[in-house]
Amino acid sequence: MDLVTADRTHLWHPFTQQRGWTEEDTVVVERAEGTTLVDAEGRSYIDGVSSLWCNVHGHAHPRIDAAVRAQLEKVAHSTMLGLTHRPAIELSRRLAELAPAGLTRVFYSDSGSTATEIALKMAYQYWRQRDEDRRRFVCLRMAYHGDTIGSVSVGGIELFHSLYRPLLFETLRAEPGDVADMERLLSEHPGEVAAVILEPLVQGAAGMLMHPHGYLRAVRALCDRHGVLLIADEVATGFGRTGRMFACEHEGVAPDLMCLAKGITGGYLPLAATLTTERIYEGFLGRFDEFRTFFHGHTYTGNPLACAAALASLDVFREEQTLEALAPKIDLLGELLEPVAARAAVREVRRRGFMVGIELAKFPLEARVGHRVTLEARRRGAIIRPLGDVVVLMPPLAITEADLRRLVRITGEAIDAATAAAEPGRLAA
């Protein structure tokens, strides 16, 4: 059986309607170098969405490859339950140094979903152990925090989440970017709310929705005023995406809990971390028989290979001055997108740093223009993946100016080609 047939026979892909999948050409990624993916037929593509928002310094980066290989010579996996190891220890110290002030404790897991589950459980248990029964969470409409039941409970994307509503815990939903609405919710539920959870600055999976300047800082102040914890989900925004190491830095905000994943290993291996303060940490201390332990942990928590990749990725940030080199590319990206935004087929371009959402004009749902843009871009040598009719660009921070130009040019051409066949209001064949 050839590879593609075997895929169609045995695989079930995430967020994918398998019926469409088996009818379309399949790209089998064989290898990658820098910001280029190469398929089994030898065709090259720009990795326009950083392999689902996680690649930072490019693929096959010699520094990170060497670090993973060196760790592999020592031990590939050892548990964090009852044991510890050097890469996890060193990474925790480095993360604490980098993170907003006060976030000095690191709890590892392996995906963004688990990082947010952990933050929610920590917040709830923290209050319980202070004899406060705060069981409500405030989240934002259109939020995305992962796909496990807890993280879906604080999610607000109808298409992904509404079906599961009967399985979820109830939350209070605030209107994104609306300080008065947040104030109202917190005022109406005194003593009931454990934490506010949000994606700082940019709601990624919602289609790159941008919060107004000052919103994050205002929410931090409201949380302080109402004695509520703030959970910042930096899974997508962390590690340079918005132009700073963490999005919270733009508004000088330090959350009580911060969730990291995607870019943490430079996009190499699955790793996540939930950072918190000594205040929260100390709430879990007690005699063994007080049962204040945080009863949570995944088998591959703090995997040594992943931690080694993460440490090397942080070294590369320093050695290559990744954030300094990014600033002019962010400006260039803004300029390159201007003609894209001017197209009739484009309703709006939203951008913060290297996070871009190109919202297309209203086309009939069945025209699937977002998806068609993806296919057109692929034919022209770029891999992108839309969120509905929002075309997402999220290239690795290491992309060259030349490839950034090429990526935006291909995207513009792909939008033209895909939308020519489906004029707004007219139905595509």
In whole angstroms, the minimum distance from the beta carbon of 69 to ligand PLP comes to 24
The conformational region for residue 345 under phi > 0 = left, psi -120 to 50 = alpha, else beta, is: alpha
In whole angstroms, the minimum distance from the beta carbon of 119 to ligand PLP comes to 10
**What is the sign of the dihedral through the CA atoms of 274, 278, 279 and 283?**
positive
Which C-beta is closer to ligand PLP: that of 53 or that of 363?
53
State the residues that interact with ligand PLP by CB under 6 A. Answer: 111-113, 116, 144-146, 199, 204-205, 233, 235-236, 261-262
294-297: long-range contacts (C-beta < 8 A, 24 or more apart)? 294/107, 294/121, 294/122, 294/125, 296/118, 296/121, 297/80, 297/81
Q: How far apart are CA 345 and CA 328, in angstroms?
A: 28
Which C-beta is closer to ligand PLP: that of 113 or that of 125?
113
Q: Helix or strand or coil: residue 45?
A: strand
Q: Cβ contacts of residue 316 below 8 Å, gap of 6+?
A: 56, 57, 61, 63, 64, 266, 322
In whole angstroms, the minimum distance from the beta carbon of 339 to ligand PLP comes to 28
In whole angstroms, the minimum distance from the beta carbon of 261 to ligand PLP comes to 5
Which C-beta is closer to ligand PLP: that of 220 or that of 262?
262
In whole angstroms, the minimum distance from the beta carbon of 237 to ligand PLP comes to 7
Which C-beta is closer to ligand PLP: that of 157 or that of 205?
205
In whole angstroms, the minimum distance from the beta carbon of 385 to ligand PLP comes to 12
Which C-beta is closer to ligand PLP: that of 142 or that of 194?
142
Which C-beta is closer to ligand PLP: that of 14 or that of 166?
14
Q: Cβ contacts of residue 251 below 8 Å, gap of 6+?
A: 200, 201, 213, 214, 216, 217, 220
